Structure 1
Amino acid sequence: MSEQRAIAALESSGLEYEITRHGRVGSLAEAAAARGVEPRDIVKTLVVRRGEGDYLFVLVPGDREISWPLLRALLGVNRLSMPDKDVAKEVTGYERGTITPFGSTTAWPVIADATLVDEPGRRISLGAGAHGSAVTLDAAAALAHLDAQVTEVTELQAP
C-alpha cells in the first residue's frame, strides 16, 4: 500500500509529524479545515518532467500555482511538462492526488517555493500516499530533510 510506504519513509526520517485521515474532500478549504491548517499550508506535490526519464517534485502552497517562466529559468530549460496520471504513478509509485516526496519509488529532486518557509515554525500539510491521508509537519525541517532547493517558483492563483 502506498500510504504505508510514505509513513515508513516518514518514520525513518526522524521528523516529527502527524497523520490525518479525513476521506476525500471537494476543495482546498475543505482539505485545510479537515487537516486543521490554513489553505496556504496545504502543499501540492507536483511532478514535473524536465526531459526523457528526468522528473522532479515541485512543492506548491495551496493558494499558489507554478510560475512556469520562473521554473524554466531556474532549471535552464525551454520546455517542461506535467506527465499524465499513469506516468506520474509509474515514476513516483503514487496516484495523482496522493503524491508525496516521502517514500517515492525514485528520490527525484525537490524544489520548494520560498513562501513555504516565510515564517519560523510554519507547519505544512502534504499528501501521505493515499486519498484522504495527509502528513503535517514543520516546513523547514521537512524541506531540509528532502534537501529541497528553496526558491521563488510560484505565483498567486488567479481568482
Structure 2
Amino acid sequence: MGSVGAAGGEGVSRAVAALRAAGIAYRIVEHEQVGSAAEAAAARGVAESALIKTLVVRRGAGDHLFVLVGADREIAWPKLRALLGVGRISMPDAASAREVTGYERGTITPFGSLTALPVIADAALIGQVAIGAGGHGVAAIVDADELIAALGAERADVTEPRG
C-alpha cells in the first residue's frame, strides 16, 4: 500500500479510502501526464491489456453502470446490450458522468464513486491490472480477481479488440 503525493486530491483521497475499505491488496502508482494508453501502461508498469478503462454507461434516465475494459479493447455494444437485456444504451456526456461519479473523465473509478453503480468487468481482465485511483496520473495496481470480487462485479465477455 502506498501514499499519495502531489498528484493527489479530493478524488484520489476518496478512491484510496474506498480501496482501503475494500480490504484488497493494492499499490498506488503516480506518474506525470501521458498522451496515450500505451504511455499510461508503460508508466504504470503493466501491459496495455491490463490498463483498465472505467467507462460509465447509461441504460436510461438515472440508470448507469460501470464497465471495466482493458485499454487494448473496446465495448462490443451488441454483446453489452444482450447481457443487459436492453435495446439501447449510451455513454453519458462528461458532465453527467461527473455528476454520477464525482470524477471527471480520465479519472473515473468505481472506488469512491458518489453513486454506487453495478459493475461489469470484461472477461479479458486477468492478473495484475491498473485501475484509475481518482486523479490524473494516479492508479492502483491490483489483482483482477480481487478487484472483481471487491466490487461485486459481473465478469462477462463484453468487448472486442480495439481496432
Q: What range is the shorter-chain TM-score in? A: over 0.9
SS in 1 for 2:116: coil
1:105 aligns to 2:114 (yes or no) = yes
Indicate the residue corresponding to 1:95 in structure 2.
104
Fraction of identical pairs, as percent:
60
CA offsets 1:120-143 (integer angstroms, 9 cap, x no match)? xx1000111011111110000010
Q: Which runs of 5+ in 1 are unaligned?
A: none
| Counterpart residue type for residue 95 of structure 2 | D
Structure 2 alignment gaps of length 5 or more: 1-9
Q: Distance in 1 between matches of 2:32 and 2:58?
A: 29
Query: 1:42-57, aligned counterparts within 5 Å?
Result: 42-57=51-66
Inter-partner Cα distance in structure 2 for 1:149 and 1:5: 23
Segments ≥4 residues shifted beyond 2 Å: none
Q: Residues 3-152 of structure 1: matches in 2 within 5 Å?
A: 3-117=12-126, 122-152=127-157
AA matched with 2:28: I
In 1, the alpha carbon distance for the partners of 2:47 and 2:119 equals 23
Separation in 2, partners of 1:49, 1:39: 26
SS of the counterpart of 1:83? coil
2:105 match: secondary structure? coil
TM-score by length of 1: 0.95
Q: CA RMSD in A?
A: 0.6
The residue aligned with 2:3 is none
1:155 aligns with 2:160: yes
Deviations 1:11-67 (A, max 9, x none): 111111011110211111111110011110000000000011000000001100000
Distance 2:102 2:80 in 1: 24
Determine the C-alpha separation between the residues in 2 that align with 1:148 and 1:51: 20
How many residues were matched structurally?
Answer: 154
